[in-house]
Structures are given as C-alpha cells and as structure tokens.
Amino acid sequence: MNRPEGQNARYLADYQPYPFILSHTALDFTLVPDATIVRATLSLAPRDAATGVDLVLDGGKDVQLLRLTINGAEADPAHVTRDDEALTIAAAALPSGPFTLETEVQIDPSANTAFEGLYISGGMFCTQCEAEGFRHITFCPDRPDVMATFDVTIHSDKPVLLSNGNPVSQTEGHAEWHDPWPKPAYLFALVAGDLVAISDSFTTLSGRNVALNVWVRPGDEDRAGFAMESLIKSMKWDEDVYGREYDLDVFNIVAVDDFNMGAMENKGLNIFNSKLVLASPETATDLDYERIEGVIAHEYFHNWTGNRITCRDWFQLCLKEGLTVFRDQQFTSDMRSAAVKRIEDVRTLRARQFREDQGPLAHPPRPDHYEEINNFYTATVYEKGAEVIGMLKRLVGDDGYRAALDLYFDRHDGDAATIEDWLKVFEDATGRDLAQFKRWYTDAGTPRLTMREDWAEGTAGGTLTLTFTQETPPTPGQSDKQPRVIPIAVGLIGPNGDEVAPTRVLEMTETEQSFAFDNLGARPVVSALRGFSAPVVLDRQIDDPTRAFLLAHDTDPFARWEAGRDLALSALVALSQGQPGGDDYIDAIGRLIADQDADPAFRALCLALPGEEEVATRLYDLGATPDPDAIHAAREGLARRVAEAHQDLLSEIYDRMVVSGSYSPDAEAAAKRSLRIAALQLLNRIDNGERAEILFGIAGNMTERMAALACLIARGRGQTALQVLEEEFGDNRLVMDKWFTVQPMAAPPADAAAIAAKLAKLPGFDWKNPNRFRALIGGLTANHAGFHAADGAGYDFVADWLMKMDKVNPQIAARMSTAFETWPRYDETRRAKALAALEQIAAIEGLSRNTREMVSRMIA
C-alpha cells in the first residue's frame, strides 16, 4: 500500500491489539465549570505477562495531571512521561500481573468550545466522547476495542445527575451509576443540569420494565412528546423486526443546544441536538418531525448495532453506522411510505454521497487510512454503508439476511468487530462467497453502468438482450478499479403499458455482461435499476418520449419517479446550454398531476424540479462545465412554464390539499401538505407571491409557514414575514435557526452572499453555537448560484468564517469546508477563486488537524 498522506496518518494495516486488558473503570467527578476534578480508577492487566511494555494512556493537552498511583503507591516521576497526546508509564514501573491505576486530573469544561469531551451547554454539563473525546476528560486507552464495565460517581449542585447504565443511588448533590455492559470509552456520557423529564415506560419482549425519560430544559416539556412516542415505536420495532430487546432498567435521552452532530448513542444515555428532540406544530416542520422519528430510532438501534457489538477500530466505522442507517431507513419505511422513503434516500445519497465520491474527498466506506477520524463521519460511511447492506440483502434474500443478522448478534455480542466478521456471517449463514462483494467496502468511487439493448424479433418469440458494462473512475489513491458485484433489478413494460416481466435481479460480476429475456412478443420498454438496486450511475440510450412512457406506466415507484427526474434533467441541461427543451416534461408532468389516484407524496416528489446542483452534476457527468447562473435561469424559466401550462390544475391542487382539523405530523397529512407546497412553489412564479403571503398569514403550522416564507423571499418580498417570525419566535433558537437559513438560501443568487454577510453582523448570530453557524453558512452554500457567484463573494465569505470557526471548533469548520469539494467542476474563473480561498485557509498557522486534512485533500 502506498502511504501518500501527511505524517499524522493512521493506517488500518497497522492494527495491533492494546497490550493491556482494562476490565473496569471507576470515575468520580466533582463538577466545577472551570475546575472539574476527575478521579479515575482503571483495573488493568497486561495482555501478555511475558512482554514488559510501556502503558500508553491517551490524554489531551487540556487534561492536567494532579496525581497518579499504581496499586495505591505514588508513581515515580522518572517513569512517567507526558506529551501533548498521551501519558506513558514505563514498563519498569508496572506490576507483571493485574494492577490498579488511579489518576486525579483537572479539566476546564467552561473553556471547551470544541464540544468534545466534557463541556457546558446552556449551563448544563454534558459530554461528547465519540470518536476520541474521552481523552479530553481523563487519561485512558481511548480506542473502541478496549471495553470495560463502568461505575460513575458525580458530585454537583445541579439537580439532575445522569450517566450510563442503571442508577445506584441518588441523593442531593451526589449520584452513582453502574453500567454492567462492557463498553468502550467513546460510549461514556455524563449530564448534570437543571432539567425536567417527560417520562413513560416500556415492557420488553421478556417482560422487563424499562423507565423512559426525555430530559429537556424547564419550559420545553410540551415539545418533547413526539420524541418519546418515537422512542417507544423504535423499541417495539427492533423487537418485532430484529428480535432485539433493550438491556437496562432505564433509557434516558437528553436534549442539548450545543452539539456538533445530530445525536449520540451513549449507552443508556443518548444525547441529542435539541433540534432532533423538540417539536411542536408551531415550531417544527413535517421534515423536522420525520427526522426526529428517524434519529431517535437510529440512536436507539445503536444499542445493538454499535454498543453491544462495537467496532474494532475507527476504520470499521461503517460497520455500526452503515448498518444502523440501514435499520433506521427500514424503520421509517415501515412507519411511513416505503416508496417515498426510498426516493428521499436516493436523493440524499446522490446529493451528498455521489458528490463526495466524485470529488477530491472520495474514500471507501471502509477507509484504510485517515488523519483525523472526525472527518470520516461522512455520507460514504453512513449512507453508502447502508446502500451496501441493502445490496447484500437483495443478493441473499430476506431469509438469508435474517439468518445472517441472527448469527451476527449471536456470534459477536460483546465484541469489537470488523467488516470481515460482518461478511463472514453472511457467508456462513448463506453459503455465498463474498470475496468480490467486499470491494464495495474497500474501493471508493461510484461505478458507471452502461446499458445497451438488443432486440431480436424472430428468436425465441422475441428476445431482448441487455448488455451492461461497468467502470469505476479513479479516485484519490485508487487508480485501478476491479469489477464489482452489482445487483441490477429490471422489469419490462409492454407497449400497451402492462408489465410483461416482473422485477428480476440480474447479478452482474464481470466488466461486461449480457442477460436475455425470451418470448416477449413485442419489444418492451426496460425499467432498469428498480428501487435503485445498486448505488451506481446508470447510463442508457433513452429518448424523452420513452421516459414519459415510463413515468406514466412503470409499476416500480422509484423507477417511475426516476423517469420524471430524467425528463426534467434532460430539459434543464438543454435549456442551460441555450437549447430548446422541456415540452415533453411539461406534458408528462401535467398528466401526472391530474392523476388523482396517485399518492400525493409521490406526486409532490415528481412536481419538485431537480435542484440546481443536481443539474450541475448532470452537466459535469456529460463532460460539460456547469454555469451556475445559466442553470439558475434555466430552472426558473422551466418552473414558470410548468406553472403557466398547468395553472388551473395546480391551483386546484393548492386549494384542495388542505388538511382539516388539528395538525398531525403523520405521513398522510404530511403528504398532502407536501403536494400543496409543491404546487405553491410553482404558482409562486406567476402569482408574484400572492398565495404565499396569504398562507404565511393564516397557516397554523411551521411547515406551511416556512414554505410560504421561502416563496416570499424568492420574490423579494419576505421582509414583513421575516419580521413577524422574529417577533413571534425571537427567543426560540430552533425557529431562529430557520430564520437565518432561509434568507441566504431562498434569496436571488446575486444577493445571497451580501445577505449572509449582513445577517452575520446581527447580535443574534451566535456563531459559536454549531446549529446557528450551520444555519447561516449552510443556508448560503445551499444556494448553488449564490455560493458559486462568479465574483467569488460566496467563497470568500465562507472561507473567512471557516478560518474563524477553526480556532474555536475545528470539527465544525472541517465539516463545513466540504462546501468547496465540488470546486474542480466549474469554469476557470470560479476554480481560481475557490482555490485561492482554500489556499488562504491552508496557509493559516495553527490550523487544526481537522481542517488541514480536509483542505489539503481538496487542494491535492
């Protein structure tokens, strides 16, 4: 293997087990905002008594050692060395058998702006330890394959004191917790604050009673009910579908305002970004509700896929994340519409993972090296990791999948496992050889699949031969790609619109391969890659009338939606290049919206034009250089033509899709609202915002109000509505985040960067709060032509803020830097400006390892 990265890179190939066994960790916290004392007692033993090796404990610069004893005796300072990242105790100072190591350290949670380790959010102490945060709390072997049972004692004057596992004792100013399940340090959590709970209970499969609490700040209780409902549904679903039961007496969820990610699956004590817990009809949108349900499920499902079975090392991150995303996607499909969920997931996959896979940050679901692990919580590890499992399931069938999963839980409970272990359970349970399939885990890049059709009339009553070729473009560090196993789900539609061959999964293993369908009579239309059966780019010769035919007749909802999307993209590509286009799309979409039988959510998805970035990607795929301004103009123009052509139908939908009664976030009601909003967004192009203005004034739910607000801003008449929202919700962080996002996002592109700059000067732009920072910066980067403005104003604004944020919270700066990952696609002027912005960041002295790694990969 070549090792091209910086000196700090870590390599999968270098894996060695930790030379000591840690059986138990006892922690004692005295919580003081700027001087917290942590006493840790680690029960250790050499893994191999014969080899006297030094004991290396991870510990960041921010951990100040006050005292260290081994078996109760003060360690000789000559045997202890300290650098910025670790504490080393020389082998000579260690007993040859089991021993107890005690440390006392001091840390300063009030100075922790990176939100890694123990920090303070809104006056509450809380922790985030994945991936390597525990080493900012105390000295320890901070790696996922070192697992111990925990006892935690907390001293604090805060009224609510929580940690992992089961409560042992709770008195004023003091609490003790015991976690009987061995766990790695990254699953440790502690919370101390002035909190209130909404509580419920759940009786498990085997009759165990579990106390459930969702902890929030006083005053937020009335917005926590949906999270609790989602938790109960998740617990039941995991029992019904996977046979997995919860294993402690309590399950606590805590909402915090300052959080780098969405949520965290700490054993028995999940910590959530408050935006993924708190919801009321007045403050949250349908999408927020759907996300809350999905993320509550995701974190809960980690209890088995992540906690009971964890990862051997961080290279295996997709072992827990890919599987848990796959499980939460299954859950949402079961709770809501499976067809709609699949389309939404594919949209996200393409927008985030394909984008990553096709640019300078491409990496395999299981990377073989990294510099900063926090940079690898990516769409590839999560979403592609889930797609790979979907393919496995398609290949082995539902029964094979269930047998493999049962074996996985049985064989690996309590283990820190690898992708090899995962694939082996499938091989053992089903008898399949998965050596070639493994490439999905080890190789980066999105395969391009080309499909050719050959029709032979006379032979065997009419034979259609499909010939596929696959090719994966080179990615950083991987130039030569071998063919992968690709499950291609195909169905055939006869000329009269009837399905003549139901879905068949073709298993492609070669670079080029043909599959024949006999006895067809007349030449059918191929419905290919049904259900998006593999994460590939499909390239086929197909004209717009055939796409329109599939949009009208395909029985597979994904393929049907895809046909409409392809029609729209083909029009937008032509229009953005100054050519005519769009007539077939406008006709076909008219037929679809008139079809009262079709599911409203599905019609809404079809009505929404592909985003500008999607058009840019398609142009780039076709070998053209995308022009963001031309794309914006083309999309606006087409939307207007659709609105003009179907004005009556659209206003009828808009008037009819009103959900009566009180608000409910369920799938059916949300579907109606989504169709109504899709119609509004088109009509907004020709009614100059009239409907949006009325809707904003009368809507009782945030879904419609936000949609109306975005429409008003796009028409340049959002001021009054923005003021109203600010007056009404100025003290509600989550609503104000939306307020900050929508302005640069929905603005005409030429104004977007200036609007973002103006908002950044407001006192309400509390940029050290990750949600607020993401709201504003992310709002601008979501405006494709605004961020990629030819004068470079978008690039400069974002780069300036990344540099500022890097000093405070490197994880957030590094993550947001991916806004630049598509820079090589654009014209020379834009490329030069984006590159200059990246180089300016790279030149900063003291730039974090996080941002340095990202920027240097993007520049390379």
- Enzyme catalytic residues: 299
Please state, in angstroms and rounded to a whole number, the distance separating the CA atoms of residues 800 and 715: 29
3-class DSSP state of 635: helix
What single-letter amino acid sits at 173?
G
CB atoms < 10 A from the CB of 366, how many?
25
Q: Which is nearer to Zn ion, 321 or 356 (CB)?
A: 321
252's tokens: 């606590």
Instruction: Give whichever of 255 and 529 is closer to ligand 0A1, judged by the CB atom.
Output: 255
Toward ligand 0A1, which CB reaches closer, 38 or 264?
264
Say which entry of ligand 0A1, Zn ion, none residue 128 contacts (CB below 5 to 8 A, set by partner kind).
ligand 0A1
Contact between 136 and 185 under an 8 Å Cβ cutoff? The reply is: no
Closest CA to 344 of 378, 294, 388: 294
Query: In 3-state terms, what secondary structure has residue 55?
Result: strand
Lateral strand order in the sheet of 64-70: 73-74, 64-70, 99-107, 36-46, 20-30, 147-155, 174-184, 166-171
* DSSP secondary structure string for all residues of 684-707: TTTSTTHHHHHHHHH--SHHHHHH
Site for Zn ion in 305-344 (CB under 5 A): 321, 324
Burial letters 280-301, b for 16+ CB under 10 A, else e: bbbbbbbebbbbbbbbbbbbbb
Rounded least distance, CB 382 to ligand 0A1, Å: 7
Nearer to Zn ion among residue 266 and residue 324 (C-beta) = 324
Q: How far is the CB of 372 from ligand 0A1 (least distance, A)?
A: 10
Using the minimum distance from each CB to Zn ion, give the nearer residue, 325 or 536.
Answer: 325
| Crossing angle (nearest 10°) for helices 733-746 and 719-729 | 170
User: Looking at beta carbons only, is 377 or 654 nearer to ligand 0A1?
Assistant: 377
Among Zn ion, ligand 0A1, none, partner that 286 touches (CB below 5 to 8 angstroms by kind): none
Within 10 Å of residue 453's Cβ, how many Cβ atoms?
Answer: 16
Residue 377 touches which member of Zn ion, ligand 0A1, none, C-beta under 5-8 Å by kind? ligand 0A1
Half-sphere exposure (Cβ direction) of 76: Cα atoms closer than 13 Å: 7
**Least CB distance to Zn ion at residue 278 (A):** 20
Q: Give which of ligand 0A1, Zn ion, none residue 263 binds (C-beta under 5 to 8 Å, depending on kind).
A: ligand 0A1
Q: Which of ligand 0A1, Zn ion, none does residue 290 bind to, with CB < 5 to 8 Å depending on kind? A: none
**Under 8 Å CB-to-CB from 642, ≥6 apart: which residues?**
585, 586, 589, 609, 682
CA distances from 15 to 11, 57, 59, 368, 674 (A): 7, 17, 20, 11, 49
Chain residues in the site for ligand 0A1 (CB under 6 A):
128, 130-131, 260-265, 298-299, 321, 374, 377, 811
Tell the smallest beta-carbon distance from residue 302 to Zn ion (Å).
Answer: 6
Interacting partner of 36 out of ligand 0A1, Zn ion, none (Cβ under 5 to 8 A depending on kind): none
Task: Supply the minimum distance, in Å, between the C-beta of residue 125 and ligand 0A1.
Answer: 17
Q: For residues 413 and 307, what is the distance between their CA atoms, to the nearest angstrom?
A: 9
Residue 120 or 451 having the CB closest to ligand 0A1: 120
The partner in contact with residue 374, picked from ligand 0A1, Zn ion, none with C-beta cut-offs of 5 to 8 angstroms by kind, is: ligand 0A1
Which option in Zn ion, ligand 0A1, none does residue 261 bind, with CB closer than 5 to 8 A by kind?
ligand 0A1
Q: How many other CB atoms sit within 10 Å of the CB of residue 241? A: 14
Strand partners, 506: 488
Q: Which lies closer to ligand 0A1 via its Cβ, residue 153 or residue 378?
A: 378
Q: Are 500 and 520 in contact (CB under 8 A)?
A: yes
Catalog residues that contact Zn ion under the rule CB under 5 A: 321, 324
